[in-house]
Structure 1
Amino acid sequence: MVVGRADLHAHTTASDGTMSPAAVVARAKAAGLAAVAITDHDTMAGVEEAIAEGQKIGIIVVPGIELSTVADGRDIHILAYYANGQDEVWQERLAGLRTTRGRRNEMIVNRLVELGVSISMQEVEQIAAEQAGASSGKGKTIGRPHIAELLIRKGVVATMSEAFDRYLAEGGAAYVNPPRLHPFEAIEWIREAGGTSSIAHPGLYNRDDLVEQLISKGIQGIEVYHSDHGPEEEERYRQIAERHGLIMTGGSDFHGERQGEVFHGELGSRTVDAAVLEQLKPDSE
C-alpha cells in the first residue's frame, strides 16, 4: 500500500494546463506527494510521458482523464482513473469528444467576433501549440483557458478570472454549450474501458439531485476535496460518499499558472490519503 498523500486531479499541456506532463510530475514530487493523477480533458495523451517521469524520479502516476459531459444544459465533469488507454473503442470515443470540444471552441470564437472582439481560431491554436511545446503530441485538446489567454494578450481583459466572468463561463457573453456526452453514458464508457469513475467537483454544479442520480447509475466515487470546495461542501459530499459507500477522491485541479494566477489550486493543496489508490485500481491489478 502506498504511504503518503495523493493529488488526484491535475492538468498538463496535453489539454489546458501550462506545464508539460513531466513538469507536473516533478512539481508533485517537489511538493512531497506520493502520487499524482494526470486528468487532462478528454485525452490521455499526457499519461505516457508522466508515467515515465514518475518512474524516473520515484513518484506514482495514476493514469486518468476528465470527461466533458452535459446534463440539462449544464457542464458536468466525470473523472476516470485507470481506464485502459490501449482500448481502441475507448480511444475512438475520446477522439469524438475532442471533435465536439473543437466545435465548441469555434462557436465561442465566432460569438466573440460577433461581440466585436478581433480573434481567430488560428490564434487560439497557436497559443495552445506554443504552450504544449514538444510535449503531449497527438490527441492534445484545446479549451477555454487558451481562449482566455488570447483575450488577455489582446488586452480585451486583464486576468483569467475576468475572461471567464465576462465571456467564457456559464452566463458569460460568449458562453456556448452544444449537445455533448451525457454523464450517465460517460459512466458506462469508463466501466467498459476498465476504469473507475468519480464525479468531479460536485460543489460547482449546485445539483445534488443530479449527484444522487449519478450514484444510482453506478458512479463509483465523489471528488469530496477540491480547490473550489469549502468546508461545508467537503463535509456534505463526505457524508454522501459514506452513505452510499463511494470512494472519496480529491485533488487541486491544478492547471499551472497563467498571468501569475494558479488555476484552480496549487498542486498538492487538496489531497487524499494515497491508500485510496487501492480502491481506484481495477480488480485485475
Structure 2
Amino acid sequence: MDLNLIAVIVGIVEGLTEFLPVSSTGHMIIVGHVLGFEGQLADVFDVFVQLGAILSVVFIYKERFARFFTKDGWDINKGLSVWHVAAGIVPVMLVAFFLYHYIKEYLFSPFTVAIGLFLGGLLLMFAEYRTKGREAELVDDVDKISIRQAVWVGIYQFLSLWPGFSRSGSTIAGGLLVGLTRSAAANYTFVIAVPLMFVACIYDLLRNLQYLSAGDMQVLAIGFVVSFIVAYISVLWFLKFLQNSKLTSFAVYRILLAGVTYWYFYM
C-alpha cells in the first residue's frame, strides 16, 4: 500500500482515538499489524502523529496553558494549577521510565491490546455504575479539583501503561470514581495529557530519530497534519458528547473490539 495513504489512515486513527477512552495505542498496534506498517519508520511515524494530536489540545486549551506561565497558574488556591498537573503526571512518568523497555518488548501485541481493551471497558462500566444517581455530588468544574483527587487520577493512569487500556479511559474513569463529573474528568485528562505525552514523544523520538531519512519527511508531515485536524474535531465533539451522555457506549465498543481483535489475529 502507498505510504502516503497509510499516513492518512494512521493519522485519522490516531486523531480519532488519542483522546477518546478507546486506546489510541491499541488501535495503532492493531492497524499497524493489519496494514503491515511496522518497523523503525512506523515507530517514528507514531510519534509524529501523536505530536499532531497533542498540538490540537494545546490550541483548544491555549488560554489555560498560557495561564500556567503566570503567577496565578502556580497558585494552588486559584483553580487548576501547575501543581494539580504535576500531581497527575509525575508518578506515572517515573514508573513509565523504569518500565519502558519491558512494556515495549512484551506488551505491544494484538493479544495484550485485546486484554487491555476488555478490562478498560469493564472499568468504564464500573465507574458509571458507581456514580449512577450521585451526579449532584460530583465536582463539575476542573478548577475545583483538589490535589488529592489529582493524585488519585494520576494513580489510575498507571493502568494506561498496559497498551489497550487507554490513558484517557483510565483517567476519566478514575476521575468519576474519585468524585469528578465526566466533563471535569475529561478536561483534566486532556490538560495533563499535553506535558505527559510531549515528554514521552520526545523520548521516543530521540531514541528512533537515527532511523529517519529525508525521504520520509513527506509521509511524517501528512500524518502530523491529518492527526492534528482529526484530533481537534474529535476532542471538541467528545466534550460536547459528555454533557448529556455516558461512557457506556465506549465500553461496549472496546469489549466488542477486543473480541474482534482476538478473533482476527488468533482464531
TM-score, structure 1 as length reference: 0.31
Bigger relative contact order (CA 8 A; separation at least 6): 2
Give the number of the structure whose residues are more often strand, by fraction: 1
Name the structure with the higher helix share: 2
Taking structure 2 as the reference length, the TM-score comes to 0.32
